[in-house]
Amino acid sequence: MGLGLKVKVFYHDKCFDGACSAALFSRFYRERIRSDVDFEFSGLLHRAGALFDESHFTGDENAIVDFKYSSSPKITWWFDHHESAFLSPADAEHFEHDESNRKFYDPAFKSCTSFIAMIGQQRFGFDPAPVADLVHWTDVIDGALYPDAKTAVEMNAPAMKLTMVIESAPDQGFVPNLIPLLATKPLDAILNERFVAPLMPPLLKRHEISIEILRQRAECTDRTIFFDITDQELEGYNKFVPYYLHPESVYSVGLSKSSFRVKVSVGSNPWAPEEPVVNLAKICERYGGGGHARVGAISFNVNQHAAAIRASREIVNELRAAVRSGKKREPAR
């Protein structure tokens, strides 16, 4: 650690956009705010209960990117693009009254990385051109802007392979070591790094296995997929596999499990034969989760498995009912 200002950057962990947001913020900060700075990167995950520990905000400056708002006076920078960005109306009001010109929110952006690039350029004179490829791919990956499900599942592009590595990060130090490279190196070069390259073959094999497991588990009724893989170590599965297997689907609800949570993932098919009409963030918020209109999630404690199953079943029934009622409203052809 050097003698510069300590800036601690909290980012959405196990997420390509989260890691890239931290990378872009650090590059922007070093170029446009001050250069004598030491960065420390710390991942945040959605979980049941408190999301923030005030005692962790130990930087001279503390930034949160691609994650929910904290009203702590220790947080000096914040960028987010999730519809469910505020834990409470009080947090939303706190943000509205902030006059620091250091906290920014816009749910219209496909990725938080592209949002930081725009704010950095327009408000602070930052040049995002050297990281244009990074910004492009965060929009593609976080906004699900792939041309089809096959492209999303085959993962040929370097950014998609890095996404798989980040979502399955082997230890807590992996992504913080990766972030400085994302800020400065081409994506294909990062894949060849000594601590990244050996991870690829087993992850690609795991990806193939996960496709077969989801082929067996995913059931699609009324254009809504449901699957439960809580008995498998597959929390970092490719979220587009269900739509690859069931192209007729509009929505999907999946149950997965890790060491600290049971997760209900709620999504919509980016290539659906009919437009999704249900706001999934609003549904997830009812259970203490959140996200975007087209994709969201809910985290339960590991000992709340029954509650997670109950919530997933209620959401599946609601989405299937929405599809059925939509069909009833269609005019006769």
261: domain CATH number?
Answer: 3.10.310.30
Instruction: Look up the domain containing 155 and give its range.
Output: 5-195
Does residue 200 sit within a domain?
no
- Statement to judge: residues 26 and 143 lie in one domain: yes
Q: What rounded mean pLDDT belongs to the chain? A: 94
The number of folded domains in the chain is 2
Average pLDDT over residues 3-9: 91
* Token couple for 27: 């590059």
Ramachandran angles phi, psi of 219, nearest 5°:
-115, 140
Q: Of 150, 170, 195, which residue is a domain's last?
A: 195
For the whole model, what pTM was predicted?
A: 0.86
Residue reference for tokens 């079943």:
313
9 - beta bridge partners?
41, 63
Are 29 and 124 in the same domain?
yes
Tell me the pLDDT tens digit for each residue of 133-171.
999 999 999 999 999 999 999 999 999 999 999 998 888
Domain boundary among 195, 224, 249: 195
Residues 122, 246 share a domain: no
The percentage of the chain sitting over the pLDDT mark of 70, rounded to a whole number, equals 96
Residue 189 has a CB neighbour count (10 Å cut-off) of: 12
Query: What pLDDT does residue 332 have?
Result: 40
pLDDT attached to residue 8: 98
Choose between 260 and 27: higher pLDDT: 27
CA-wise closest residue to 224 among 168, 167, 283 = 283
Instruction: Look at residue 35 and give its three-state secondary structure.
Output: coil
Compute the CA torsion angle 190, 191, 195, 201 (nearest 10 deg): 170
Q: Quickly count: other Cβ atoms within 10 Å of residue 134's Cβ.
A: 24
Q: Residue 333: pLDDT above 50?
A: no
pLDDT at 169: 85
Give the pLDDT band (50/70/90) at residue 331. Answer: very low
Same domain flag for 298 and 185: no
List the beta bridge partners of residue 12: 44
State the average pLDDT over residues 251-280.
Answer: 94
Beta bridge partners of 290: 297
Q: Which whole-number Å values give the CA distances from 13 to 10, 167, 171, 173, 233, in the listed order?
A: 9, 8, 11, 11, 18
**What is the reported pLDDT for 170?**
80
Q: Which whole number is the average pLDDT over 241-250?
A: 98
- 58 and 93 both lie in a single domain: yes
Higher model confidence: residue 246 or residue 332?
246
